[in-house]
Structure 1
Amino acid sequence: MLDVMTAMSPARSTPDLSFLLDRTGHVLRSRMAAALGEIGLTARMHCVLVHALEAERTQIQLAEIGDMDKTTMVVTVDALERAGLAERRPSSTDRRARIIAVTEKGAQVAHESQRIVDRVHAEALEALPEDEREVLTRALNRLVSGHLATPVEAPAPVRRARRSEK
């Protein structure tokens, strides 16, 4: 019988990509949350504002872009409406649909939040030598559009990392 105390753990044959991507993603999200929080936004609110400014989009379309479930989307749009940054309006092309329209104040906040998002991303990349920045982003883009483009069905749902609330 194998003594658990003296058993050696299996040797890794490749880098722990799951840990590396999860950890960097978690820290980047926390930095983004802190930076956007300074102007009263969440990353989800920023996402909705920016994508609603690009084109006339319904809540469902914006939820898909932002990878949000219906409940999260409703809560996010409710918060944007309370802040006077967006409002639900009838679609100009489909009278049954309602779109999320960004107010003038919301457009100003979206431009400010985009500058914040760009700054946080630039700061993260500046931690790398200049010649590695493009290599990293090109490699991640290749993974996102190729091998890791689509999640697969798992026997049990994969849970996302819990976000700490302050």
Structure 2
Amino acid sequence: MTSMTPTRTEPDLSFLLDHSSHVLRTQMSAALAEIGLTARMHCVLIHALEEERTQAQLAEIGDMDKTTMVVTVDALEEAGLAERRPSSQDRRARIIAVTARGAQVAEESQRIVDDVHQRALGSLPTDAREALLNALNLLVGDYLATAAAAPRSARRARQREK
């Protein structure tokens, strides 16, 4: 009996996006590690510099769970790049304030991030680069703007034997 593999009728967009995203993330991690940062640390520094933000707000922007955010801010504090402070708007809330040294590191890390992105995009001919960026912006602005709700598990609970 021969198996019939279904014929693919469309390019494997999931593979193309996943693979390119994975490789870009590994390149970014390696480049930022040279100055002692992770991508999450960079994200927190940049967004905390933009305006006064709480740890919860920064976690949401960076798509981090509470535990990951705490570990990230702890690492920034240990490195002297940021500190937890009371909010100027609400004394009960605590914000993440970037230190002067943290602001310098954020400038350096942004140059690194921009360089990694430029090298990836620079590997493409100009017209392909523009088409890719235009297409991705259209996708994330419309069809791929919002993640689907996580499906419920199809597994059923085991039934106890009586």
TM-score (norm 2): 0.92
Of the three residues 19, 32, 42, the one matched with 2:15 is 19
Of the three residues 114, 121, 125, the one matched with 1:118 is 114
Q: Does 1:61 align with 2:57?
A: yes
Could you tell me which residue of structure 2 aligns to residue 33 of structure 1?
A: 29
Q: Which runs of 4+ in 1 moved over 4 A?
A: none
Could you tell me which residue of structure 2 aligns to residue 48 of structure 1?
A: 44
Q: Deviations over 1:100-139 (max 9, x none)?
A: 0000000000000000000000000011111111111111
How do residues 67-82 of structure 1 correspond to structure 2 at under 5 angstroms? 67-82=63-78
TM superposition shift of 1:20: 0.4
TM superposition shift of 1:8: 2.5
**How far apart in 1 are the matches of 2:100 and 2:77?**
12
1:54–1:67 distance in 2 versus 1, CA, 3 Å = same
Q: Which moved more, 1:68-77 or 1:137-146?
A: 137-146
Could you tell me which residue of structure 2 aligns to residue 133 of structure 1?
A: 129
RMSD: 1.0
Q: Deviations over 1:43-72 (max 9, x none)?
A: 000000000001000011111111111111
Structure 1 unaligned spans of 5+:
158-166
Q: Does 1:150 align with 2:126?
A: no
**How far apart in 1 are the matches of 2:141 and 2:27?**
25
- Counterpart amino acid of residue 10 in structure 1: P
Could you tell me which residue of structure 1 aligns to residue 95 of structure 2?
A: 99
Tell me how many residue pairs correspond in the alignment: 153
Q: Which has the larger radius of gyration?
A: 2
TM superposition shift of 1:156: 4.8
- Counterpart amino acid of residue 90 in structure 2: D
- Counterpart amino acid of residue 70 in structure 1: K
Q: Which moved more, 1:99-108 or 1:6-15?
A: 6-15
**How far apart in 2 are the matches of 1:26 and 1:51?**
23
TM-score (norm 1): 0.90
